[in-house]
Every structure is written in C-alpha cells, then in structure tokens.
Amino acid sequence: MDALVLARLQFAVTTSFHFLFVLLTLGLVTLVAITQTRAHRRGDPVLWRMTRFWGHLYVINYAVGIATGIVMEFQFGLNWSGLSAFAGDVFGAPLAVETLVAFFLESTFLGLWIFGWDRLSPRLHLALIWLVALTAYASALWIMSANAFLQHPVGYELSDGVLRLTDFGALLSNPTFGSALLHVLTAALLTGGVVMAGISAWHLLRGTAETEFFRRSMRQGVIAAAVSAPFVVGAGIAQFPIINELQPDKLGEDTGALGIPLALMMNIGVVLLITNLVLAHMRRRQPRWALWLAVLAIPWPFVAAISGWVFREVGRQPWLVYGLLRTEDAASQTDPTMMLLSFVAFTAMFAALAFLDWRLLAKVARRGPVSTPEFVPQEVRAW
C-alpha cells in the first residue's frame, strides 16, 4: 500500500478512536456538573454519591483517552506536513487556541477537581467541575471551527503559495461551523444520557440494592437524552442546505458508499430520539422491556457519531482544504514501510486502549456506587 493511503487510514483510525473517548467525556462532564450542582443546592446524600460514581466513570474515560488526543495533535506534523506548510497560518490558529484555552486549562481544572474533594471549599470544587465542562465545550468549539475551515475555507488570502490569516472572526461565522458544533455538542450530551440511563437500567434489571440511586440516575440520563435528541436531529438536518450549497459533490448523485454512514447515522438518531421520548414519559416505574431498551441503546450513539464523521470527512475528498489543497499534496514524504509500521503500532495501541477503557468502565459500572468511597481514600492502600 502506498504511504498516502496509509496516512489517510491512520488519520481515520486515530480520529475515530479519539472521538469515541471525547464523545463520552463531553456528555458525562455535563451530567456530572449538573448532578454536583443539584447535590450542592439540596445537600441530598444520594445526589452526592451520584456525583462521585458518575464522576469516577467520567475521570477514567478522560484519563485513559488523553493519550489519543496527544497523538491526534502530533499527527498533523508527522503525516501531513504539507497542511502545516500551506494552511498552518489559518488552520493552526484555532488549533493552537484549542490547546491553550481548552485542553491546557481543562486538565489543570480537572486535576484539582479529582483530588480536591476533601481539601477545597465545596463552592470552589463545584466551580471547578463547571470550569472543566466549559473548557471542554470550548475545546469542541475551536476544533470544530478548525474542521469547518477544512470544509469551507474562509478568512484567508493566498500569498506566495501559502494561506495567510486575514479575518479570524470569519472562522467562527463559517456556515459549516455553527450547526455542526451544535450537532456535536448535543450528540455528546445524548451519548452521556444514553450511557447513564443504560447503566442504571442494567442495575435496575439486576435488582441490585441501589434502587433509589439508579432510578434517579436513570431519570436524569433519560431526560438529558430526550432533551438533547431533538437538537441533534435538528442541527443535523440544518446542515443539508449548507452542504448542498458549499459542497455539492457530497450529496450528489454518485456519492455511492457515502450514503451508508449517512443513513446509519440518521436512522440511529431518529430511533434514539423516539426511544428516549418514550422513556422520559414513563415517570414512575419502567417495565422490564423499557429497561432493556435503555441497556441495548448504549452502543448506538457511538456508531452514529463515527458514521457522521465518516460522512463529513470522506465527503470532503479529494480535498484536504476544500477547493484549495488536495489530500495527496499534503502528505509528508514518509517511507511507506515506516508509515505501515506506525499505522499498525498506533492502531494496536488505540484498540487496546479502547478495550481496556470499556472493560474498566464496565467493571466500575457493574460494581455500582459502593466503589466510590475509594475515590478519595483515607490512606495509601498498598496493593
């Protein structure tokens, strides 16, 4: 295989794995922040335990996934040095802002939140989780504006064969940015809600002791999913006229295989919307079939999200920067053997990482909230 195909495959694999982590992180952090706020206001012990339990799952997913973000960032320079040389001035700006404003601050706040339970004032500790959530959203905002630039370049001029930034604000008023951002953010919240409801439903089906805990968790997850799902679908549909106008090839007659991920995403979106609206209406007791429905829903938002990205990114081809830079012209001149080696190594690492992450999440989720006191243990437990 030639280096270009490998570089593209590597990018697809890296982004997909990265996004699996990001999607759940973004969704759960919002729900954890909301739960902690409610706990803070009401002083309800169940809500406090909910904050810790779901917070634990969130932190595991964040901490295991952080490495995929680092590889993601390096990959532009490693495999696509033509992109930085040609469009780095414009494309690099939102990316740099993302790492500074969002990622840098987010990890700093999160480190304090994880370890700060007993030693920061409750108010500061609550503020920290909201700061984590805000910076995570800011992260999504800047990444999506960088991606929107690749879809529909704006705010630049071409001089001496490279792009120069002329209008930073244009990156944020890009028509391929706003609705796509809303789509991604609400999809993350939907995912967080579906996962929270699904895990809770599993415990309710098993009849574990924590009925009160998981009934309330399920309610919260279902409501989050039901509220966000219409926005996910709406913001998705809102992108069609924009795509028709700016990237007519994407939805043209001969898109062929691209129709599959698109249809998959749309069908999953609609099914999840209906499911969660139905579940949200069952106020008191959910019948067993409804609980099963919630459990079985867990993997689907992830499938839909990856399908959505495949549609958006593959549909941009053959362009890397739409209309300006072809993908084949942006690839680094790397030895194909080396490229194959790195592709295999990264893919294996990511697959192992995702497997371990989900195994661990499943383990902690199965154990239920009893595990949460160890979140901040009283002494070093040497084992």
Partner 1 sequence: MVTLWFVLLGVLFAGYFALAGADYGTALLMRAAPPERRREVLAATGPFFLGNEVWLVAAVGVLFGAFPRLEGELLSALYPVLVALLVALIGYTAAVQLRGRWHAGAKAGWDALIVGGAGIVAVGWGVFLGALLNGLPLDADGHRSGSLFSPVAVVSGLAFAALVAVHGAVFLTWRSTVDVRRLVPVLSRAAAVLVGAVVALAAVGVTGVEPLIAVPGAVAVIALVLVAPRLSPARATLCTGLACGLPVLVIGAARWPVALASTADPAGTLTVAEAAAGPATLGVLVWFAALVLPLVAAFQGMCWWAFRGDRRPVFW
The reply on whether position 127 binds partner 1 by CB under 8 A is no
Closest CA to 350 of 147, 103, 4, 66: 66
Q: Retrieve residue 341's tokens.
A: 């080696």
The distance of closest approach from Cβ of residue 292 to partner 1 in the complex, given in angstroms and rounded to an integer, is: 28
The reply on whether position 121 binds partner 1 by CB under 8 A is no
Residue 236 corresponds to which amino acid?
Answer: G
Closest CA to 132 of 105, 97, 95, 94: 105
**At which residue do the structure tokens 């999913």 appear?**
225
The reply on whether position 377 binds partner 1 by CB under 8 A is yes
DSSP 151-169: HS--SEEEETTEEEES-HH
Answer for which of 9, 292, 342, 358 binds partner 1 (CB under 8 A) is: 342
Residues 158-187 that bind partner 1 (CB under 8 A): 164-166, 168
The reply on whether position 338 binds partner 1 by CB under 8 A is yes
Q: Which helix (H) or strand (E) holds 24?
A: helix 3-42
Minimum CB distance to partner 1 smaller for 121 or for 284: 121
Residues 60-119 that bind partner 1 (CB under 8 A): 60, 63-64, 66-71, 73-74, 76-85, 87-90, 92-93, 95-101, 103-112, 114-116, 119
**DSSP, res 103:** I
The reply on whether position 373 binds partner 1 by CB under 8 A is no
The reply on whether position 334 binds partner 1 by CB under 8 A is yes
3-state secondary structure of 28: helix
The distance of closest approach from Cβ of residue 328 to partner 1 in the complex, given in angstroms and rounded to an integer, is: 16
Tell me how many residues contact partner 1 (CB under 8 A).
79
What's the rounded Cα separation, in Å, for the pair 27 and 47?
18
Minimum CB distance to partner 1 smaller for 314 or for 349: 349
Rg over alpha carbons for the chain, rounded to the nearest Å, is: 22
What's the rounded Cα separation, in Å, for the pair 383 and 331?
48
The distance of closest approach from Cβ of residue 124 to partner 1 in the complex, given in angstroms and rounded to an integer, is: 9
Report the phi/psi class of residue 247: left, alpha or beta, with left for phi > 0 and alpha for psi in -120 to 50: beta
Minimum CB distance to partner 1 smaller for 40 or for 125: 125
Minimum CB distance to partner 1 smaller for 274 or for 348: 348
Strand partners, 319: 326
**Cβ neighbours of residue 1 closer than 8 Å, sequence gap 6 or more:** 336, 340
Minimum CB distance to partner 1 smaller for 172 or for 304: 172
Please check whether residue 91 is in contact with residue 321, taking contact to mean a CB–CB distance below 8 angstroms.
Answer: yes
The distance of closest approach from Cβ of residue 270 to partner 1 in the complex, given in angstroms and rounded to an integer, is: 36
The reply on whether position 353 binds partner 1 by CB under 8 A is yes
Please check whether residue 25 is in contact with residue 60, taking contact to mean a CB–CB distance below 8 angstroms.
Answer: no
Minimum CB distance to partner 1 smaller for 256 or for 333: 333
The distance of closest approach from Cβ of residue 1 to partner 1 in the complex, given in angstroms and rounded to an integer, is: 17
Binding mask 288-317 for partner 1 (x = CB under 8 A): ------------------------------
Minimum CB distance to partner 1 smaller for 110 or for 243: 110
Minimum CB distance to partner 1 smaller for 109 or for 302: 109
Residues 40-59 that bind partner 1 (CB under 8 A): 59
Q: In b/e form, how buried is each residue of 355-377, taking b as 16+ CB within 10 angstroms?
A: eebbeebeebbeebbeebeeeee
